[in-house]
C-alpha cells in the first residue's frame, strides 16, 4: 500500500457522506445493485473502514460483530484506484481489529470474481454459489 494512504475506523454518522459516495458509485452505479438492497438498515450498527489518499476517501468496508465473529462486507474501492493494494489493506485492517477484539473468525459473502483475492488472505469457501443482488456470490470464512 502506498505511504499516502490511511485507513480510519468510523461510525456511520461520522463517515456518512464519504461512505455513501463510494458505495453509490461502486455498487449502485457500476454493479447495478438496487438502492433498496444496498441501504439495508445495517449501517448504523456496523463499524466502517474508510481509506483515504491525500485528497479524498477512495475505499471502504463495513464490519458487523455477531457473537464471536466479524461479518465483513460492503468492501469497495473506487474504480480508478483498484489494483493498488487497497482491498488487501482493508482485509489486513479488518483481520487486525478482529484479532484485537479476540474474535474467532471473519465471514464474508464474496462476489465469485473476488474469491481468489480472498484466498490469498487465508479465506476458505464455505458455500455453493448463490445470487445476491443478481451477482454470483459464495460464503467464505477465515478462522483464527
pLDDT, tens digit, 9 for 90 and up, residues 109-130:
999 999 999 999 999 999 999 9
This prediction's pTM = 0.94
Q: Could you give the residue ranges of the DSSP H alpha helices within 11-138?
A: 12-23, 35-38, 86-100, 115-119
68-102 residues labelled b (16+ CB within 10 A) or e (exposed): ebbbbbbbbbbeebeebebbebbbebbbebbeeee
Of 104, 106, 103, 102, residue with least CA distance to 91: 106
Chunk the chain into consecutive blocks of 10 residues (it has 144) and report each block's average pLDDT, rounded to whole numbers: 83 97 98 96 96 94 96 97 95 96 97 96 98 96 97
The Cα–Cα gap between 27 and 38 comes to 7
The Cα–Cα gap between 60 and 23 comes to 8
As a whole number of Å, the end-to-end CA separation of the chain is 24
Pairing of strands 124-125, 105-111: unpaired
pLDDT in tens, 16-25: 999 999 999 9
pLDDT of residue 4: 81
Amino acid at each position: 500500500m502506498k505511504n499516502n494512504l490511511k485507513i480510519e475506523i468510523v461510525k456511520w454518522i461520522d463517515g456518512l457522506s464519504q461512505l455513501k459516495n463510494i458505495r453509490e458509485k461502486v455498487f449502485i452505479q457500476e454493479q447495478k445493485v438496487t438502492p433498496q438492497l444496498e441501504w439495508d438498515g445495517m449501517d448504523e450498527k456496523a463499524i466502517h473502514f474508510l481509506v483515504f489518499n491525500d485528497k479524498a476517501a477512495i475505499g471502504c468496508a463495513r464490519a458487523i460483530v455477531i457473537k464471536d465473529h466479524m461479518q465483513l462486507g460492503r468492501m469497495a474501492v473506487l474504480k480508478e484506484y483498484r489494483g493498488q493494494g487497497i482491498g488487501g489493506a482493508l482485509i489486513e485492517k479488518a483481520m487486525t481489529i478482529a484479532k484485537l477484539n479476540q474474535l474467532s473468525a471473519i465471514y464474508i459473502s464474496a462476489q465469485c470474481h473476488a474469491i481468489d483475492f480472498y484466498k490469498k488472505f487465508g479465506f476458505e469457501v464455505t458455500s455453493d454459489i448463490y445470487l445476491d443482488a443478481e451477482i454470483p456470490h459464495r460464503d467464505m470464512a477465515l478462522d483464527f
